Amino acid sequence: MDFYSGQISKLIEEFSKLPGIGAKSAQRLAFHVINLPKDQVEELAGAIVNARNTVKYCKNCCTLTDNDLCPICSNENRNHRVIMVVENPRDLAAYEKTQKFDGVYHVLHGAISPMLGIGPGDIKLKELILRLQGDVDEVIIATNSSLEGETTAMYISKLIKPTGIKVSRIASGVPVGGDLEFIDEVTLLRALEGRTEL
């Protein structure tokens, strides 16, 4: 049974299709939008439509941008000889927030997952291999520590090693503030293997 008119129900339905938005959140968002001043609603709708129409892949690193090259790839102060490979633009943003990496990135837009039918041809690997034909000293693989991330890291490593380019993997291990008794064995093993001298 519908409690609301057709337009309100349609708006709630559209919001509920967004990731992480349940029925109650969708309802809250719908009523928030309905109660906004008309110019703010038009601005929101325009921003959504403009982003969808203008955002594309960076020609170099495949992150999302509204220019041919993203701000990182077009920055001449970055070290373009070191490429960090990440799964998605959110991972890129996480590393940028550290302000400690001065190289460039390559965004795969996914990870290899045979269970989900995602193979090497379904992510941006061909574009990465093309980039390696230029002057590249090191590729840092920063995929997630999941089964898919590890599979992707191993696949990329096997592709790149014959070229003579240095390939490294980010360390993973015990999170700051984590109690050892609650951490799984794989994480503890990676922490032990990735140890550094004090």
7-37 and 77-172 in the same fold: no
What average pLDDT does this structure show over 157-172? 89
69-126 residue pLDDT tens = 999 999 999 999 999 999 999 999 988 888 888 999 999 999 999 899 999 999 999 9
Half-sphere exposure of 115 (CA within 13 A, CB side): 4
Say which residues have a Cβ less than 8 Å from residue 111's Cβ, sequence separation at least 6: 87, 118, 123, 143, 144, 146, 148, 149, 151, 152
14-46 residue pLDDT tens = 999 999 999 999 999 999 999 999 999 999 999
Is domain 77-172 given the CATH code 3.40.50.150 in the classification? no
* The predicted structure's pLDDT at residue 1: 42
Considering the four listed CATH numbers 1.10.8.420, 1.10.730.10, 1.10.10.10, 3.90.950.10, the one that applies to the domain covering 7-37 is 1.10.8.420
Q: What does the alpha-carbon distance between residue 56 and residue 104 come to, in Å, rounded to a whole number?
A: 18
Burial (CB < 10 A; 0-12, 13-18, 19+), residue 63, is: buried
- For the cut 60, the answer to whether the pLDDT of residue 198 exceeds it is no
DSSP state letters, 30-49: HHHHHHS-HHHHHHHHHHHH
What average pLDDT does this structure show over 167-187? 73
Q: Where are the domains positioned within the chain?
A: 7-37, 77-172
DSSP state of 122: G
Confidence (pTM): 0.80
Q: In this structure, are residues 166 and 137 in contact, taking their beta carbons and an 8 Å threshold? A: yes
